Structure 1
Amino acid sequence: MIELYTAPTPNGHKVSILLEELALPYQVVPIDLMKGDQKQPGYVALNPNGRIPTIVDRDNDDFAVFESGAILLYLAERHGRFLPTAAKARSVAIQWLMFQMGGLGPMQGQANVFFRYFPEKIQPAIDRYQNETRRLYTVLDQRLQQAPWLAGDDYSIADIASFPWVNIHSWAGVPLAGLDALIAWRDRIRERPAVQKGLAVPGNVPPERLLDAAKKILQR
């Protein structure tokens, strides 16, 4: 049994999607970001960074894993799926996973902050992060013109990592117009039953509650 500590964010959805794709039994422990659950000592003992998501693998000596990319790698390697085994192909998948972790996530995250959450509109900051997110979308689109999936011929954790961010592009105010390969990729992933289930974890939260939570976090 996997315990998944999560909230309805792109980073949280990466892990719930993979757990659904793997058809693993897991128990959801919702983390209320507005209440600051992620900063409580019991949670920080599992995740020193005080962010979501985190898993605890009860079938592996209660092993805790934090950071969404590390969780994807851990689960894919442990269960032998969604990560190629051949050295070069595995490296390609990890390269695109790191592209999301080091580029797409941080840049779109900042676009979300300045476009949606920040109490004052700082247009140069909005422009910078929206433009950089759009540039990164273009990199994804160019890759997907060459291959059906980011790692090549097969759907992998590289796709699972980037999809939840691209799926909420409008929240950051970044259009997908003209990125036909990226749109087709997003639509194919949206159709997967496991993805639909994973996006529903940890349950429906009204957008205004998420907005209030983000604003409260920014004030700390």
Structure 2
Amino acid sequence: MNRFTNKTILVTGGNSGIGLATAQAFAAEGARVIVTGRDQTALEQAAATLGAQALAIRNDASSVAGARELASTLSAQGIRLDGIFLNAGIAKLAPFETVDEALWDQTFNVNVKGPYFQIQALLPLLNKGASIVINGSINAHIGMPTSSVYAASKAAVISLAKTLSAELLPLGARVNVVSPGPVETPLYGKLGMDQATLEATAAQIQSQVPLGRFGTPAEIASTVLHLVAPESAFIVGTEIITDGGMSQL
């Protein structure tokens, strides 16, 4: 299929993991893809896999100034958007009693403030019928120990999508959420844990998934593409959970 021929799609955090897999899936269906991230080397590698039309932009997803700068960069090049996947995020787990203000601020800056002001900055660049998808998380629903800050941030963006859906529909834009369960991505190497703790945590999480495995980035990407594609035009303000049945236990 080529559902996205002549469409332009922005994927934040598109240089690895779910973001890169989603960008590749969009490109494979004909889209011109723009990816952002903070690692310049990873961005260049991602762009090389996405084709000659792809654009890679270094950007700080936690910064309001960064959000406005990205919008200005795209506007200066005459770029308008048909879809946005707000995927850039951070996940650091910590017992409640050890959480400090720095962890709270970092998590909410990247996971909540960043997407909020990025959408605001990009509004003038949206084509009629544009679709916005925010990356949520099953952690917003399951009450997993040590995830209090991360889970709260993802609950916030799920709520945000519902509210923005009502506000942005008159402008012709839809907002939805995809909430993955555990997925095999580099994010699991950035949880702030030593290797032994990380392996034990991963094994414990996997034991809670009825399918008996982590998901793959490509499986999440397929849901994002569905939410951006024309066939999902009647899906508005909705969260699609892709967690291998984890939330059903």
| The two structures share one fold, judged by TM-score above 0.5 | no
- TM-score by length of structure 2 reads 0.35
Larger strand proportion of the pair: 2
